[in-house]
Structure 1
């Protein structure tokens, strides 16, 4: 469709810091009701990032309306106002705040209305705003919807939302999160207890999906009670030291093999990775102490000890029985090595056993550790149930290590008692659905919705209820079966009591699912359907926002089968179109899996062709008024010295460009935890948000030389704008790709000297090279003293060297060592010289009083003050206010120093400059309100905080 293209906010500027802070906060700890908790899926973007990117994708940049914002100053002020809207909108706490959400929705409605030559609804009229968005704004469509984060946040912003995925597990998650809740918004619960309370005069307003969530809790309890009648006897209480009984929370098991050492007399020995059971208590630890008998049968048992272990015991606890990486163990009886190859061979021969070594018991609100008993062992010894998930896992050790040990089917990942438990619960779902249908007066769709959420609760039980679950000794809790994007082998494991009080108990699993449902948005309709992105679309024109697969990082279809085998048993009658197969569909999955496509090169070609086909198909139907946004996971360590990143990143970009897209920008959203920065500044993963538009069909062809000239002409201003937008140095490599690839992708082709088409890999290398040239040219613009300091820092850091080294540098830069000593940039150590460390810089320094002001001093003093106990944001801003033209030079120098420190591996020093550069925009904002003395006229200096 043809339309006037107006720049959107995301094509110019977005406030990265508040988005990153909230994304990392939720990555560290998901609060109650957080949507990703409803069901396990992989690589789900934090909702803060999705919400912010969608908003910036839909809202006009003020430069699009020069009649309303005629000057750069007016446009900058409006951008800052929109940034504040984003800042208020992204925290999880704002997710159900109608005041904040309506503020964001109105901004979107305003852009839509102005584009149509209309005026938006009144700012405070929430219902009118929603009605306008759902009738006048196009829907948002994510063709790789996965865990549903993008459709969910589009819906929360008041827009119609569509999502599709090839994977039926993902489709059902999307339906549960965004499609089902609006259908039953405001409906009271139908369970007998709630109806009786209502009949007795209890009045409550059921908002959103609260009534549905209440029914999920009620019928979840009914399911628990029914299951306990059937299998509760397999989970007996434990006898405590005083003869009383306590509920078992978990049983701790070790897999076993027969010792290969003849000296062990054929003893069956445990494969324990640690003797520790708990180290959460400040008073000490709890551990297993093995006692090996002297008799010919080499009998052994474990005793439970607690307190502060001796030095010998500590060494043994730390070492455990696992040595090194992989499955290398020590024989408990003889102390000889049990190599990995032997363990795998025993497993493939079907000779892996299981030994109960301890129990975790609840008593008077505390968790106690008891030794194994014969009664508890016998309770677990049950036959495999009639039905078990016998589908085989793929032979792909990158994602699945259990098959190497003979555990080839999904059933083999569970003990017989776990299989019996999960089979019992899944078998109750059809009966439960019929019961709900009767209670709600025959509304089958509602009954099926309740059943779907409870099937998700059972899947959560499976996550914490397999023989792959470790016991977390620091947390006294269960770890999930699939900690990341693979199914790893586990040698010792914890078996949860489904009727107890742990993450694997049905009551806890139901509670988590119901809380997610209770917090789901419900103001806009949504539809999630099953389709490959290469073929799928929707009837309407749409805004395209998506989060596609990450090359070969995750085998979604393979790994999600862990859940599919249980969902197909519990929900096949309810969702027959999605659960009709024995396994998940894999043929059209857009993942570069070498074992499926005949090698690495063939997998790369398949991935590029798939991305191209998907984007070509989608761009034909997307609304060209709005740009396309695409998330992609990227690690800084995927780049090399030439700026050429991993095979996956360049293949992904190649597929996008070949699909007809022009890349307008790349925004690195730091959505992962920041702890790795302490050791490696480049170790973090970012979610790169690419901004694209459809390339002009009449785009010209240019040469390699033309491309390089265009890069040199356009990138300096683009880099300056990126810095002003608040992008930190750690993310500059990804950010400069945006304008660079913008030049590359707006042309039909860039021809090499032999007339072949330039590849994305080559373009990335050239972009990085031009960026380095621009940075080096910037060095020459600094004052001579700063140039000397920069050259010294790049070679020696803050180390001292012979004074002759400094004299040689100063001569080349037409300055003198005396000038550098006088300025305080360098220290004169009588025969030696070195840069003055920040902690030794004078505390009373100010730019206004410095007669030899250097850019180097501006950076180092501002960094010192920003992190000083008696300094902080206001004090640093006061320095910036006095710098004048040096302020922009200082910002640029902070980026340059970060690059040098990173290349040298000085992580702590790099962090100083990264923080300073990221905060610089804030410092300038505050500096604008300060007078030359650093005081805010009429201010009590309490308004600013970092």
Structure 2
């Protein structure tokens, strides 16, 4: 069939998508990611924009409606404005806006069906009354399937990892089953007064998760509160701490116990001493509320005491018992160095201990830091956990070092008291199932006798569903309730384990109070899940359909004729399976009766996981072969079974990149592209999506372009011919200039241009069955990327011919000197070659010449009263730098005033800004590059203001005559 290009294959409003995606990372309350942690989860803004643009025809495919380029661009901008609204977090549950997006998808789909009504599989593929289903075969954290569902598609999510499958069930499968239903808990009462239809989305389910979570907390208090005593402030304590006098007699709830690991001193004279391995003794670094631990030496031993205020010994308070460059420790009493080989040996001999360093309590006016007491330490040691998961840690894995310190089982990551808390809450998750079921039946919910895993929607299935979210709270308890959680002295709270995609060793740790009300408590976890429900699933309807299941993407056949968008594993960046065992052991303990098949194995499946891990496959080479073969199989299945009317969109994390003479190279990137191409795909677009803060540019030479690259792919024609290297080069030279112009007109940021240009370049490379070099060998992906970058540079350089002679001189001078001074003789010689003169350019107002030195004027050195209408020697160079001057000083409206005067001449200014950015990137001139990038990114708004406001100086009644 002849397909129509979708919007994502032509243009995207990247600036709006990037800004919304970056902003989303700072949104915690109510975000779907707060249901359960997953690594490298895609922002919902990105997923929503990509799927929408993947489903919508580009206006250029409908010349009957949009006959001119101008009409097509106007329609494209209308769709861009819709996307710009869609990606805003505040619009996640905006039903009016979501319905508008869904209607656009339906409109485009009905056009597709009409055009393919004579297709031999029309009944199966092109039903105008039913949208095609969606499938993500590497579903991970569930953002992509969730957004497909919110856009009105029947959503399928699969993953090999059972933790990911459960997260996706909680995102797309469970909420629609019980959407619109009232809560069943006996204390709500509201279910008796409000009909089921009055409950919006999954609010009723959220109410019950909240209620039964509180019930679990109350039950846990009955069973284990003796292990979490309050701290009574006695008169004795005030001898060292007069500031505690107004607390005498009060019993304060503990927020956290702060522990430090210890090892016996290697000095024989102090072999009885448990030396603290502390990276810092600081408890609070907040201005005006400083607090720290002070070790007090008493004979041949020591004790800890807590001080308030600034320490007199700043170095010790800040660095603890670190020694040298922080690579080892020292004995507190003898100052004998303690290196890591000694610590590791002691740890493996089970002689690594821990000692209470401080207690953080909740006072009437905030945090109160207290010295440790023997009673508190004894109570913690009395905890005796039972029925604890005994699963082994991986012997070796990416991001794991803790095995070197005697931690060889997952339970070793927790203190005895933490294990008691986790097993208690886990038992209560299991107990909650029967309680919820009975309450549901009492409240009048029907019973179909089927469990959740069997597709039930009655009381039994509902009880299973509530248990899933309660188990997610247990995962949060594990993440913030283990012995690798540090203490944050600025925020004054425990840090959760997974601040990054690794499990690092922690020498001091904060043990939060699960029965309290602050960070680390069960209450906080339940509230977080409740808030996620209130926002994420507010717009969920029972008509939405979602299914999550466990499957290997390289072998499954589940994606037949579905729209596909997916975020596969990133070569060797993240060891998902090894990391997720941390959660799996507790989820399995709590939910195995609910999902017997999903939790059938003792640990997460690892052998089939598509990551290039040398420790798992024996060598780096074997790991790469495994990744390549597995990813090619997975991509082949996507190419074979995806719906032919739509491109497949695939995310790739652009990491491990390096800049070489011939262009950007990355083993993971090239291997991934090779797998995509070998699977039978041709690329129709590559889009850089940044989810980091874009306000600054890091290391110009390191090519940190994007957090992810989105690949838009189509099935390659089975009858595609091969091409020679020369034919490929000729096609690049012929087609890439027009594609590049189109990208620039679409206002892609200069920082993203090189990566986006790979799309049309690889589209040419991949439309051939293969490209053959002069020796008869197939041209590799790396060689193709090198040629694409080479032609891109040539095309940008050729754009120089569009500029006036003065601007061409300035460009060449800037490449060599920037805004620094250079010799007059060099400048004059160059001016002859460019058919201009130094004196003429001084007159033009772009440079200064004095004392035998010449330099270009910086934007802030240009005259503020410049008017292009009265400039007798107007240059493109002036346009660009005056625009930068007014943009930085007065914003987009000030720049729009100049653009209005320039008319169509302004287009050349944008072209020069692209070229200057590329030059600055090559020369590593970050500050100037930021200015050129900012000008291009602001261009759409500048042009909008220019068109709408027609800002003109007083007395001027005409625009500069357009060329």
Counterpart CA distance in 2 for 1:324 and 1:888 is 58
Counterpart CA distance in 2 for 1:539 and 1:834 is 62
CA contact (8 A) 1:213 1:517 kept: yes
C-alpha distance 395-320 of structure 1, shift in aligned 2 (>3 A): same
- 2:157 is the alignment partner of 1:163: yes
Corresponding residue to 1:61 among 58, 63, 88: 58
The C-alpha deviation readout for 1:750-772, integer Å capped at 9, x for no partner, is 01112121111111111111111
Cα deviation for residue 427 of structure 1 reads 1.4
Corresponding residue to 1:522 among 518, 528, 540: 540
In structure 1, runs of 5+ residues without a counterpart are: 120-131, 939-946
Indicate the residue corresponding to 1:852 in structure 2.
873
Indicate the residue corresponding to 2:88 in structure 1.
91
Indicate the residue corresponding to 2:524 in structure 1.
508
Corresponding residue to 2:139 among 140, 145, 149: 145
Cα deviation for residue 325 of structure 1 reads 6.7
C-alpha distance 97-268 of structure 1, shift in aligned 2 (>3 A): same
The C-alpha deviation readout for 1:643-684, integer Å capped at 9, x for no partner, is 242110010000001001000010111112336626658445
Indicate the residue corresponding to 1:179 in structure 2.
173
- 2:399 is the alignment partner of 1:388: no
Q: Give the stretch that moved more between structures: 908-917 or 394-403.
A: 394-403
Indicate the residue corresponding to 1:336 in structure 2.
336
Indicate the residue corresponding to 1:286 in structure 2.
291
Indicate the residue corresponding to 1:551 in structure 2.
571
Corresponding residue to 2:514 among 481, 486, 498: 498
Indicate the residue corresponding to 1:36 in structure 2.
33
CA contact (8 A) 1:144 1:533 kept: yes
Corresponding residue to 1:78 among 75, 79, 85: 75
Indicate the residue corresponding to 2:450 in structure 1.
none
Structural mapping, 1:758-797, within 5 Å: 758-797=779-818
Indicate the residue corresponding to 1:702 in structure 2.
723
Indicate the residue corresponding to 2:494 in structure 1.
478
Indicate the residue corresponding to 1:126 in structure 2.
none
Counterpart CA distance in 1 for 2:578 and 2:290 is 39
Counterpart CA distance in 1 for 2:566 and 2:440 is 37
- 2:356 is the alignment partner of 1:350: no
SS of the residue corresponding to residue 707 of structure 1 reads helix
Structural mapping, 1:702-741, within 5 Å: 702-741=723-762
SS of the residue corresponding to residue 218 of structure 1 reads helix
Indicate the residue corresponding to 2:256 in structure 1.
250
Indicate the residue corresponding to 1:919 in structure 2.
938
Q: Give the stretch that moved more between structures: 447-456 or 66-75.
A: 66-75
The C-alpha deviation readout for 1:309-332, integer Å capped at 9, x for no partner, is 44xx33333333335677522322
CA contact (8 A) 1:133 1:158 kept: no
CA contact (8 A) 1:349 1:406 kept: yes
Corresponding residue to 1:271 among 277, 297, 306: 277
- 2:837 is the alignment partner of 1:835: no
- 2:910 is the alignment partner of 1:891: yes
SS of the residue corresponding to residue 257 of structure 2 reads strand
- 2:45 is the alignment partner of 1:48: yes
Indicate the residue corresponding to 2:19 in structure 1.
21
Indicate the residue corresponding to 2:120 in structure 1.
none
Indicate the residue corresponding to 1:128 in structure 2.
none
Counterpart CA distance in 2 for 1:249 and 1:568 is 29
C-alpha distance 198-937 of structure 1, shift in aligned 2 (>3 A): farther
C-alpha distance 815-318 of structure 1, shift in aligned 2 (>3 A): farther
Indicate the residue corresponding to 2:240 in structure 1.
none
C-alpha distance 750-324 of structure 1, shift in aligned 2 (>3 A): farther
C-alpha distance 260-134 of structure 1, shift in aligned 2 (>3 A): farther
Counterpart CA distance in 2 for 1:8 and 1:204 is 38
Counterpart CA distance in 1 for 2:200 and 2:60 is 40
Aligned length: 914
Cα deviation for residue 396 of structure 1 reads 2.7
Cα deviation for residue 892 of structure 1 reads 1.9
The C-alpha deviation readout for 1:19-55, integer Å capped at 9, x for no partner, is 111110111x124210111101111110000000000
The C-alpha deviation readout for 1:243-275, integer Å capped at 9, x for no partner, is 311100111111111122346454211111111
Indicate the residue corresponding to 2:205 in structure 1.
212
Counterpart CA distance in 1 for 2:606 and 2:862 is 62
Indicate the residue corresponding to 1:127 in structure 2.
none
Cα deviation for residue 371 of structure 1 reads 1.1
The C-alpha deviation readout for 1:129-150, integer Å capped at 9, x for no partner, is xxx9995210111000011111
CA contact (8 A) 2:282 2:291 kept: yes
C-alpha distance 134-557 of structure 1, shift in aligned 2 (>3 A): farther
Indicate the residue corresponding to 1:261 in structure 2.
267
Counterpart CA distance in 1 for 2:628 and 2:419 is 41
Cα deviation for residue 522 of structure 1 reads 2.1
CA contact (8 A) 1:672 1:684 kept: no
Counterpart CA distance in 2 for 1:118 and 1:768 is 38
Indicate the residue corresponding to 1:7 in structure 2.
5
C-alpha distance 748-934 of structure 1, shift in aligned 2 (>3 A): farther
Indicate the residue corresponding to 1:125 in structure 2.
none
Indicate the residue corresponding to 2:453 in structure 1.
none
Counterpart CA distance in 1 for 2:640 and 2:757 is 28
- 2:605 is the alignment partner of 1:573: no
Counterpart CA distance in 2 for 1:264 and 1:663 is 67
The C-alpha deviation readout for 1:403-437, integer Å capped at 9, x for no partner, is 01111111111011101110111112221101111
CA contact (8 A) 2:264 2:271 kept: no
In structure 2, runs of 5+ residues without a counterpart are: 117-125, 234-243, 442-446, 448-458, 958-963
Indicate the residue corresponding to 1:123 in structure 2.
none
Q: Give the stretch that moved more between structures: 910-919 or 892-901.
A: 892-901
CA contact (8 A) 1:109 1:133 kept: no
Counterpart CA distance in 1 for 2:260 and 2:59 is 63
TM-score normalised by structure 1 residue count: 0.93
C-alpha distance 348-544 of structure 1, shift in aligned 2 (>3 A): same
The C-alpha deviation readout for 1:469-527, integer Å capped at 9, x for no partner, is 11111111221111111111111110010011233211111111122233224231010
CA contact (8 A) 1:878 1:935 kept: no
SS of the residue corresponding to residue 834 of structure 1 reads strand
Cα deviation for residue 904 of structure 1 reads 2.9
Corresponding residue to 2:226 among 219, 224, 233: 233
CA contact (8 A) 1:274 1:317 kept: yes
CA contact (8 A) 1:279 1:473 kept: yes
C-alpha distance 133-52 of structure 1, shift in aligned 2 (>3 A): farther
CA contact (8 A) 2:617 2:623 kept: yes
C-alpha distance 537-201 of structure 1, shift in aligned 2 (>3 A): closer
SS of the residue corresponding to residue 707 of structure 2 reads strand
Q: Give the stretch that moved more between structures: 849-858 or 452-461.
A: 849-858
C-alpha distance 794-181 of structure 1, shift in aligned 2 (>3 A): same
C-alpha distance 843-272 of structure 1, shift in aligned 2 (>3 A): same
Cα deviation for residue 638 of structure 1 reads 3.8
Indicate the residue corresponding to 1:908 in structure 2.
927
C-alpha distance 203-158 of structure 1, shift in aligned 2 (>3 A): closer
C-alpha distance 510-638 of structure 1, shift in aligned 2 (>3 A): farther
C-alpha distance 160-937 of structure 1, shift in aligned 2 (>3 A): farther
The C-alpha deviation readout for 1:379-414, integer Å capped at 9, x for no partner, is 110354232232222233631111011111111110
- 2:687 is the alignment partner of 1:687: no
Counterpart CA distance in 2 for 1:863 and 1:263 is 70
SS of the residue corresponding to residue 894 of structure 1 reads helix
CA contact (8 A) 1:255 1:492 kept: yes
CA contact (8 A) 2:110 2:128 kept: no
Counterpart CA distance in 2 for 1:534 and 1:936 is 70
Q: Give the stretch that moved more between structures: 846-855 or 715-724.
A: 846-855
CA contact (8 A) 2:232 2:252 kept: yes
Corresponding residue to 2:562 among 542, 564, 567: 542
